[in-house]
Structure 1
Amino acid sequence: MRRVHTLSILFLSSLIIPTFASPRGSRDVQSPLAMGSPAVGDHPVSGGVQRYEGEKVWRVRLGDHDMARRGAVMEVFETSGMDIWHVTSTTIDVRLDSSTTPNDLLHTYLHPATTFEPFINDLQSLVDSTSNNNDENDTPTSSSSSSSSSSSSLMKSKNGKNKQDPFNLTTIDTPFHDTYHPVQDLYKFGDKLVETFDGIKGIEVESFEIGKTWEGRKIKGWSAKMVKDETIKTKLADGPSRRKGGIADGVEREFVVQSGQHGREWVGPSSAFYFVHSLILNALSDPSSDAALLLQSFTFTVVPLLNPDGYTYSREHSRMWRKNRQEVGSKSCVGIDLNSNWGYKWRYPKSVSACSDSYPGKESFEAYETQAMAYYLGNGTERGTKVRAFVDLHSYGQLFMFPFAHSCEDFPIDAEMLMEAGLGVAKAMRTKQGEGYEAGQACDLTYRAPGDAIDFAYGVTDIRWSYSAELRDTGTYGFMLPPSLIRPTADEITAGLMYLAKFIYVAEIAD
């Protein structure tokens, strides 16, 4: 029996989701731009949209001296208000304004052996070029019901030609998967999954709400499973060898995919929806397929957008916005970094101000979003399930990581199994699209603060198979992944998640 950290089930059973009858976002407050985290530089705002002219993103290659004190270097960067994009054991990607030069940092913070190289020379140009606002395939935004725009499989594009309805989900080739979307269209797609597939050939698809955000938006999820057909004898293709372990027979296992903790990481929600859509279509097309067997063995749940407030703000006001939009007691800044607010090894760093992109809040689970999701993960018995796998999608870096993130001194007792499964996932992703992914422990592969989602999932709720994925790319585009790369990214993480589900099936379910 594996060790379970004692903080928890008692905590989870007593975790109270706030009352949202009157969303706090409806109160009279300062304008959104006035209350946002300060920009890296002093940028003009046009039509309420922040601009990034003159900004660059630099890759800091740490010398041995700085690598040995990476945590201290990170703390200096964070307290200085710099926008840190990505961290590895040897590099830090950081956004700088036009008035700050690498030499300023070299002399002020870092060892002389440290080197800098720019990989994004004009941030605003990249934001413009990767925006799909003028894309003919962009989904029409509408708050109307899902049936209102799906009466025909064809729609008129801007040039008057017919094009495929993005909400026709009978094919994975829907153009929905080739562009980014506002919250209402993401949720509309999820509801179309229910409308299109629920009750078809034993498929059960449902939507649910796990809570509301500070601004009153719904945090929604979708689950899919398939009625088990005992007459079908299916053998998993390319599955792992049999392992011992697992939970008692008869318990319904749940596989949860979460994404969208950080507003600017748009490819995560797109990939989560692609995964569940692909899974359902493959199961329906072949009742003896791996997808069908897995849907009969697991309830697959996606919570594609944990931070709809931050995501919306990133789309409409500030492309680089990371946090949620919750008031935190500051006169000038709002927002909590959700992936630093989970209640395992959480701590409050006094050196990080409320204006920092990594601000963890004043206490764990202060954020409405993390509180709601923690309750969902820890109370599967209310749904008749046991959450057995949890994968948290982020970008960027092309990594697949297991706990712990807060420190390498806290080592999971399942590390060998977690590493073996992770290596298989990385291989499956590389085989699918040719892009390399690295697998390992989160604290080794990147710098994470205490309060990480996968640490909570593993250390508190006893979700054995807990992982965090950093999707494409490795820095060419960073958070501005072009729409043309959404589908390849989603396709490869789908292959990886399928491998992980098969690994767990063989380890815990197969006869």
Structure 2
Amino acid sequence: MLKVSVLLVVLTAAYCFKSYDRYKIVRVDVGSEANLQSILSLESEGLLEVFSESRLGYVDVLVSPKNLAKCQKSLHSIGLRSVERVDDVGAQILQEKAALLSAAPMADGSYSYDSYHRYDVMISHLESLVASHSSEAEIVDVGTSYEGRTIKAIRMTADISSDESDDKPMIWLDGGIHAREWVSPATMMYIIDSILGEQETDKSDKMGELLAKFQIVVAPCINPDGYEYTHTTDRLWRKTRKPSGCRWGKKNWFGGCFYRMCYGADPNRNWAADWGNSGVSDDRCSLVYPGKEPFDQENTKAVKTYLENHSDKLKLYATYHSYSQLFLTPVGYTTTKPENWKHHKKVGDAVVAAIAQRNKGTAPYIAMQSAGLYPASGDSADWVHDVLGLTDSYTFELRPDGNSNVGFELPADQILPTAQENVDGLLALIDNIEYNNI
């Protein structure tokens, strides 16, 4: 343990990596939007940070050791019950970082599922796949991030160079919209490998049928700036990296910020579906700040534009997050059921059953409407559902389940089972979309 602690000190000094030494994760029971807004008010006061918003009746918050007593007192005073879940978040990050340092370096173009990888490793592997599967895969440049990274996707279909391939019905999958949710891009990469026969070889016939029928576009990491920032500077960063202005808009006499400069917006609150109304904060430094207006973040605008340009072909949209092991159906900004809710329930039941069958004995996924116990506005799946009019628009929340204490630092030995079960979940999803059941 001493060696690991020394290693953390060296890493923090060398890379200016944000330390979460002795930070706690506290679970707060919530049952309404009003409860959530109370938590967001405490976040604006600097007492806590929203760590993860579950749809299962709680919110996990991150609390520094100096704020713990005051935070608990504040939660108690407004009638919110809380319990400490993780004693030292910094120790978890330390353990994860040590595992990354000990992992074998990746050869150019290769990929593995026993460790988490940087964005350039993902893209190198996509390019390698295209080279070896040139008749059924090509790279798509979706757009450019604020910091200048190309947001890349891979388009897969049979006879990809033919004019007819562009007219096939489209399936879109994306991951990594929230920077710290590392298992999401990893799962996307495994799904890509499986579709092209590099993994899940027993499903090659099924994958061939899908490629003959559909064009499948997968963007494994649509927030590359934030994702890279979690590797270099702040493991628990959630948002994009575009400067959003001074906190509360307050500048000092010298043109700087009176409090501090804020960075980024929550890219899953930045879509024009009931934008800015629920589950958000107007504090520019908040982790759920939705931006100044819809699509003011380069990455969300780029994905929006791509989807709009292909909306006539789009038959399925699915976005992958973590954590809580949920399959979320539209919509997230109101608990009122949409007209197509019976179809969503059928799809959700099929997906969670397929996942459960793949990894028996593990905690099950739960299918539910995205709004859950409280609404949240501006997410991508709702925009596709409402604005593009696509019935089949869904959100996966991957491992760990809500009872786990590891949160976003999902151990690397959980990457493969997470990815495997979600290949089966995806196949069940595709089988049950409207397009395949008309």
TM-score (norm 1): 0.73
Question: Of 404, 410, 427, which aligns to 2:353?
Answer: 427
Residue 7 of structure 2 is matched in structure 1 by none
Counterpart amino acid of 1:472?
A: R
Counterpart amino acid of 2:38?
A: V
Residue 309 of structure 1 is matched in structure 2 by 225
The structure where helix makes up a greater share of residues is: 2
Change over 3 Å in CA distance of 1:112–1:340 after alignment to 2: closer
Q: Which moved more, 1:347-356 or 1:491-500?
A: 347-356
Residue 303 of structure 2 is matched in structure 1 by 373
Give SS of 1:180's match: coil
Residue 423 of structure 2 is matched in structure 1 by 494
Change over 3 Å in CA distance of 1:98–1:283 after alignment to 2: closer
Q: Which string of whole-angstrom CA distances, capped at 9 and with x for unpartnered residues, describes residues 194-228 of structure 1? A: 011222xxxx1010111101111101110111259
Alpha-carbon distance, 1:45 to partner: 5.3
Any gaps of 5 or more consecutive residues in structure 1? 1-43, 141-148, 151-166, 168-174, 229-249
Matched, 1:403 2:330: yes
Q: Which moved more, 1:470-479 or 1:85-94?
A: 85-94
How does 1:1-20 map onto structure 2 within 5 Å?
A: none
What is the distance in 2 between the residues matched to 1:288 and 1:309? 34
Q: Is the 8 A contact 1:79 1:356 kept in 2?
A: yes
Q: Which string of whole-angstrom CA distances, capped at 9 and with x for unpartnered residues, describes residues 237-271 of structure 1? A: xxxxxxxxxxxxx9621111111111111111110
Q: Which has the higher contact order (CA 8 A, sep 6+)?
A: 1
| Aligned residue pair count | 401
Alpha-carbon distance, 1:74 to partner: 3.5
Change over 3 Å in CA distance of 1:288–1:108 after alignment to 2: closer
Residue 124 of structure 1 is matched in structure 2 by 90
Question: Of 459, 463, 473, which aligns to 2:386?
Answer: 459
Residue 208 of structure 1 is matched in structure 2 by 140
What is the distance in 1 between the residues matched to 2:184 and 2:272? 23
Question: Of 189, 202, 213, which aligns to 2:125?
Answer: 189
Q: Is the 8 A contact 2:75 2:82 kept in 1?
A: no
Counterpart amino acid of 1:388?
A: K
Q: Which string of whole-angstrom CA distances, capped at 9 and with x for unpartnered residues, describes residues 486-508 of structure 1? A: 1111111111011111122xx43
Question: Of 407, 432, 449, which aligns to 2:376?
Answer: 449
Question: Of 8, 26, 31, which aligns to 1:58?
Answer: 26
User: What percent of counterpart residues are identical?
Assistant: 28
What is the distance in 2 between the residues matched to 1:302 and 1:310? 19
Give SS of 1:329's match: strand
Counterpart amino acid of 2:394?
A: Y
TM-score (norm 2): 0.85
What is the distance in 2 between the residues matched to 1:352 and 1:110? 24
Counterpart amino acid of 1:187?
A: I
What is the distance in 1 between the residues matched to 2:83 and 2:52? 14
Q: Is the 8 A contact 2:323 2:400 kept in 1?
A: yes
Give SS of 1:396's match: strand
Change over 3 Å in CA distance of 1:451–1:510 after alignment to 2: closer
Give SS of 1:311's match: helix
Alpha-carbon distance, 1:135 to partner: 2.7
Alpha-carbon distance, 1:46 to partner: 2.3
Alpha-carbon distance, 1:510 to partner: 6.7
Change over 3 Å in CA distance of 1:89–1:193 after alignment to 2: same
Give SS of 1:134's match: helix
How does 1:230-241 map onto structure 2 within 5 Å?
A: none
Alpha-carbon distance, 1:67 to partner: 4.7
Q: Which string of whole-angstrom CA distances, capped at 9 and with x for unpartnered residues, describes residues 9-58 of structure 1? A: xxxxxxxxxxxxxxxxxxxxxxxxxxxxxxxxxxx952211111110111
Q: Is the 8 A contact 1:294 1:501 kept in 2?
A: no
Any gaps of 5 or more consecutive residues in structure 2? 1-10, 161-165, 247-256
How does 1:107-506 map onto structure 2 within 5 Å?
A: 107-110=73-76, 114-131=80-97, 132-139=99-106, 149=108, 167=110, 176-199=112-135, 204-227=136-159, 252-281=168-197, 289-330=205-246, 331=257, 332-347=261-276, 352-380=282-310, 386-409=313-336, 411-434=337-360, 435=362, 436-444=364-372, 447=374, 449-474=376-401, 475-504=404-433
Counterpart amino acid of 1:377?
A: L
CA RMSD of aligned residues (A): 2.6
Counterpart amino acid of 2:299?
A: E
Change over 3 Å in CA distance of 1:278–1:53 after alignment to 2: same
What is the distance in 2 between the residues matched to 1:351 and 1:449? 11
Residue 83 of structure 1 is matched in structure 2 by 49
Change over 3 Å in CA distance of 1:376–1:356 after alignment to 2: same
